[in-house]
Structure 1
Amino acid sequence: MAYAIALAATAVASYLVWWLVRDYFVPSPFDNIPGPPSGSIWTGNLLQMFNTDSWDYLRYLCETYGPVARIHSFFGAKWLHVYDTKALHSIFVKDQDSYFRGIQAINGSKLLIGPGVFATYGDPHKKQRKMLNPVFSVGHMRNLTPIFYNISDRLQLAIETRVKDGPKELDILGWMGRTALELVGQGTLGYSFDPLTADSRDEYAEAVKAFIPSVVSTTGYRFIFPYLPYLGPAWFRRMLLHMVPNKKVQQIKYVTDTVHAKSQEIFFAKKSAIERGDQELLHAVGEGKDIMSILLKANLMADQEDKLPDDELLAQMSSFMIAGVDTTSNALSRILHLLSENLDVQAKLRGEVQQAQEQFGGQIPFDELMALPYLDAVCRETLRLHAPLTLSNRQARKDTILPLSEPIRGLDGKVMTELAIPKGTTFFLNLRACNTNKALWGDDALEWKPERWLKPLPRAVEEARIPGIYANLMTFISGGHSCIGFKFSQLEMKVVLSTLISAFKFERSDTPIIWNFAGIAFPTSTKGSLRPEMYLKVSSVSQ
């Protein structure tokens, strides 16, 4: 064991020495590209870009250096910050096989979640997507609509009991988190975590909520991920991990173990039920209409070369839960926050929803709900201006050429219309900057205006050919690694919003709301706090 630890330490030390020599003494092909000065000899610009209050720095980076800029990473490494639309199209779509999330991200995802869609690339990833894409079809989303309405009705009842005596300040983020967990749980796994009838605690639910914050807290350890497989078999690596005297490391070990154990329990119970016959599923949560039940059935009927092994199917479960809960709950919270500050928009939205509810005698059917113009405009505008995921990262798998929609002028005055990209180059792709680029969206690009979606978009947006899969936006990315569950997310948001906005009025309370930059932006009540919460004053529309 001592030999293995010494070997690992030597490998890490050697890598750091090589890294220092390469990045500080070897010229970079990006030295001629304008960019901000390094903020630190050790961390470059990363601490400026990645802290809970980095919104202003990212805006400065975009306004000062434009759609392509050179930034500094650990120990002087030169990376690229990009939101040029043609470059994004090349990375995400046209030349997507030339890029991947990077070996650190891939190995990290595989270690923490398993060999699912976040931990694969190339042909293995394409095989998984081939099996998964049909499962998220519009037809399946339509079947989930009654399930989502049932959950939203329970949420409405829970809030009604708390505001029946008058307006009350509620932690909306907490309620949206519980609701999103139940929506994703029932919709993807056919499993109920939270009845939403009273305060409750589920170990798996708590682990899912804690997963992303735990990963963020151990960011400094990611550089060792590529070397972990060389330390021996999984049982030996786990033994070494257990010996690490660090609370953050032990916390992420507990969280990942909890998520994996419960996912495994749900997965094999569901697989067994399907193998015994569909009649058992008819009496289960969701009546077998959930994503995992459909996926398991499709996998059983697939040709041998298309079948996915159990470990990959199991990994999809954890991936769905971890990727789907915080993004949806925080997006819903952001919309309600904006509506509380724009009561005229809230009233107009309520009128549209209530009129549709009266027309259909209650719940609005799937097709009509998705087609409500103002509800759609509110969702689109929020996801444009406040995409839950601000930055995405990619790394070049080979030497390639990156085309640009607008030329950039180098520090030596040379004009460049494309960039030679060496293998290993790391990119930070600014999704929000593309969504709010004034050159495309106009001078009001940083303002929240749902009405912009009720008229033709600016010609510049149409001509830019933004490579997003949704509404000329990069919010859900594009290409083979786009968000596979974006239709699922849209349905969740619209069902919950239509239910809540027709029954309640949301106003700002005296408690501050501070949105913190993170992998998924989250609100707190105190600057510098890491406790996610967002309080609004809620009252019944009928009062």
Structure 2
Amino acid sequence: MSLVLLLVYLHLLGLAGAILALVIRAKRKSLKFLQGPPSPSLLLGHESEFNSVRKVGSLEDNWFNEYGTAFRTAGCYGEDILMLSDPRGLQHIFHKSAYRYPKPKDINNITLKLFGPGLVVVGGETHHRQRKLLNPAFSAAQTKPFAEVFASCATSLARKWQDEIVAKKAPGQPGTIIDTVRWLPNMALDALGESLFEYEFGALEGTRISVLCDIIRDLFIDSRNVNEFRLLRQAAYRFLPTSIARLLDIKKTKQDKRFAHWLKTSRGIADELVKSKTEGSGTDGRNDFMSILSRALYVNVPEKGMSPSEALSQMATVIFAGHETTASTLSWIFYEVAMHPKEQEILFKEIKSVREQTGNANEPLLVKDLEGMAHLNRVIRETLRFHPIVPDLFREADVDDVIPLDNPVVDASGSVLTQVPVVKGQRVHASIYGYNRNKELWGEDADQWNPNRFTNNKKPTTLGMFGNLMTFSGGVRGCIGWRFAILEMQVVLATLIESFVFSIPEGVEVEQVRPGLGSPMRKGRWAEGTQMPLMVALRAGGL
């Protein structure tokens, strides 16, 4: 049999299996008792529509307004999906249920290709073991000393921007246009390398390591244009036995190839870093990231160890998530302060006031000073709320369960529901975007950027890792590096606001698109790719 015929046969087999799954699922309990938007397609449900909409929120905003914080949407092959943004419901799934709501198989298939068998991918006892080993590396005590590294990297970036402004400033313009997404990831990668890996990536200087930022920038480039066949193929992983589902991966897509290139490159760099640590170098009891990995590689106690593949996967995960997520949020922070010049001026005056009160005119600000800046931290919290880097998370019930609700919803028969019963295997679409813009939680202006909402931020339901937000997820699978990210944002924001004034160039309008990590693109110019062009001018007395 020729290779072409074999591939055709395998894809037909996958399609037949998916159709069989459709028939089986139709006989199971469903969410038909819930209201929800009518399905536009039996095979594709809302998923094609959801993936083709560019701007985050442009589809689900209408749904949340009409149906509330818990409703039914249609998935591929006739699957009913529970879309959820209710605080208590999310708390139940992410905080109280521990590992009883794992990631679905199709999501794990994608993340495995990106990261390998690391913390983002594995579940249950394996995840618990890995998390327990890595937690000390991201504690507050371990993270705070990195402030000096972050300040050094932010200052290096500021000097490069200053050179850029001096060289390119046009007559009559306050500064020059700088595309922040071309700079901030390189700065964040350098900060990551010098803090966690004790290694100089030199990304700001344009060494070979900056290729990682280039790879990530284009990682999801055609994931925004998923054709129907690819969507059905991805969805088939949810229903087919793993051994059969893997046959669908024989023919690699462009996305598969990009993910493989990223994983090979990042793990290659990780391997170099691991080899720079000699065997036993972690026996001094240090709790830095590399020492913990070194101990885990050579320990003889299984519950305290990691395989080489696991260790390299942790590093690939940290390289990706540890710089790109922070850089993307920082881009949105500078965009919002550029959009709100009064808030930017309040922020600058707060930093200046702290300098005067502490008598620290030139040295990097101390962590306690950064933590005490109320407005700076409100700006960070509000941007995390308004621009969640990952707007959607997916989980699947592994037992029959009842999900409680803070905000009751009206079911299809007109009755009021305070809880939603689900069966084993029920897919849950947790809308981080929807929760972060819930008007009952955040006020009637929840669809606007307003840092002053965090002046009094007590909420009835505790959720998430930071600021009662779900931007870092929550519970046992919450972002392990959230403290690292917040501290870096604090340092970089304070450093750059002291040196520059940000404004929006004429005619520039930016939108957050999916997929990707909160990717910013210019409205109507998506073909140009990810970008965040801001007018950056030197501040009097800066640098």
| TMscore range, shorter length | 0.7 to 0.9
Q: Which residue of 2 aligns with 1:255?
A: 262
Name the SS for the 1:474 alignment partner: coil
Deviates more, 1:260-269 or 1:6-15: 6-15
Equivalent residue, structure 1, for 2:179: 171
1:101 corresponds to = 103
Q: Which residue of 2 aligns with 1:196?
A: 204
Given that 2:187 and 2:203 are in contact with CA atoms closer than 8 Å, whether structure 1 keeps it comes out as no
The correspondence of residues 326-341 of structure 1 with structure 2, limited to 5 A, is 326-341=324-339
Contact 2:37/2:63, CA 8 A, preserved across alignment: yes
> Higher mean Cα deviation, 498-507 or 516-525?
516-525
Residue by residue over 1:430-479, the C-alpha shift from the partner in whole angstroms, topping out at 9 and shown as x without a partner, is: 1122222111222122222222223x23xxx522x132121121121211
Shift of 1:79: 0.4
2:524 aligned partner: 527
* TM-superposition CA deviations, 1:40-63 (whole Å, max 9, x none): 333211233333135221111111
Change (3 A) 1:26 1:402: same
Give secondary structure in 2 for the equivalent of 1:270. Answer: coil
Q: Measured at CA, do residues 292 and 11 of structure 1 come closer, stay the same or move farther in structure 2, by a change above 3 Å? A: farther
Deviates more, 1:222-231 or 1:318-327: 222-231
Deviation at 1:367, TM superposition (A): 2.2
Listed as ranges, the matches of 1:35-434 within 5 Å are 35-50=36-51, 51-164=53-166, 166=169, 167-197=175-205, 202-213=210-221, 220=231, 221-223=233-235, 230=243, 241=250, 244=251, 246-272=253-279, 274=281, 291-297=289-295, 304-358=302-356, 359-361=359-361, 362-434=363-435
Deviations along 1:256-306, one digit per CA (max 9) or x if unpaired, are 32223222222233355837999xxxxxxxxx9963345434776795532
Is the 1:127–1:306 contact (alpha carbons within 8 Å) kept by the matching residues of 2? yes
Q: d(CA) in 2 for partners of 1:248 and 1:439?
A: 39
Q: Residue 499 in 1 paired to residue 506 in 2?
A: no
CA-to-partner distance for each residue in 1:309-336, whole Å, 9 max, x for gaps? 2221111111112223332111111111
Judged with a 3 Å threshold, the aligned counterparts in structure 2 of structure 1 residues 215 and 140 are, in CA distance, closer, same or farther, namely farther
Q: Structure 1 residues 299 and 360 mapped into 2: Cα distance closer, same or farther (>3 Å)?
A: farther
CA 1:360–1:122: 2 relative to 1, 3 Å: same
- Partners of 1:189 and 1:293 within 8 A in 2: no
Residues of 1 paired with 2:406 and 2:78: CA distance? 28
The 1:375–1:107 alpha-carbon spacing in structure 2 relative to 1, beyond 3 Å, is same
CA contact (8 A) 2:14 2:244 kept: no
Q: 1:12–1:375: structure 2 CA closer, same or farther, 3 Å change rule?
A: same
Give the whole-Å Cα distance in 1 for the aligned partners of 2:465 and 2:259.
Answer: 33
Residue 444 in structure 1 maps to residue 441 in structure 2: no
SS of alignment partner, residue 495 of structure 1? helix
Contact 1:330 1:522 in 2 (8 A): yes
Q: Structure 1 residues 189 and 208 mapped into 2: Cα distance closer, same or farther (>3 Å)?
A: farther
Residue type of the partner of 1:523? P
Q: In percent, how many aligned pairs have the same letter?
A: 25
For the 8 Å contact 2:136–2:287, the answer to whether it is kept is no
Task: Determine if contact 1:477/1:483 at 8 Å carries over to the other structure.
Answer: yes
| Aligned-partner residue type, residue 512 of structure 2 | N
CA contact (8 A) 1:188 1:320 kept: no
- 3-state DSSP of counterpart to 2:406: strand
Q: 1:249 to 1:134 in 2, by over 3 A?
A: closer
Secondary structure, aligned partner of 2:326: helix
- SS of the residue corresponding to residue 99 of structure 2 reads helix
Aligned length: 522
Partner of 1:283: none
TM-score scaled to structure 1, two decimals? 0.87
Q: Identify, as 1 or 2, the structure richer in helix.
A: 1
- Closer, same or farther: CA 266–177 of 1 in aligned 2, 3 Å: same
* CA pair 304-44 structure 1, distance change in 2 beyond 3 A: closer
Distance between the aligned counterparts of 1:370 and 1:128, measured in 2?
30
Matched-pair contact (CA < 8 Å) for 2:74–2:80:
yes
Q: Equivalents in 1 of 2:93, 2:128: separation in Å? A: 16
Amino acid at match of 1:175: W
State the one-letter code of the partner of 1:529.
Answer: W
Superposed displacement of residue 179, structure 1: 1.5
Write the letter of the residue equivalent to 1:360.
Answer: N
Matched letter for residue 436 of structure 1:
R
Determine the C-alpha separation between the residues in 1 that align with 2:194 and 2:288: 7
Gap change, CA 1:270 and 1:39, over 3 Å in 2: farther
Distance 1:31 1:332, change over 3 A: same
Deviation at 1:173, TM superposition (A): 1.9
Q: Which runs of 5+ in 1 are unaligned?
A: 279-287
Q: 1:525 to 1:511 in 2, by over 3 A?
A: farther
Contact 2:297–2:311, Cα closer than 8 Å, also in 1: no
1: distance between equivalents of 2:49 and 2:508?
A: 24
Task: Check conservation: 1:33, 1:70, Cα contact below 8 A.
Answer: yes
CA contact 1:207–1:258 (8 Å) conserved in 2: no
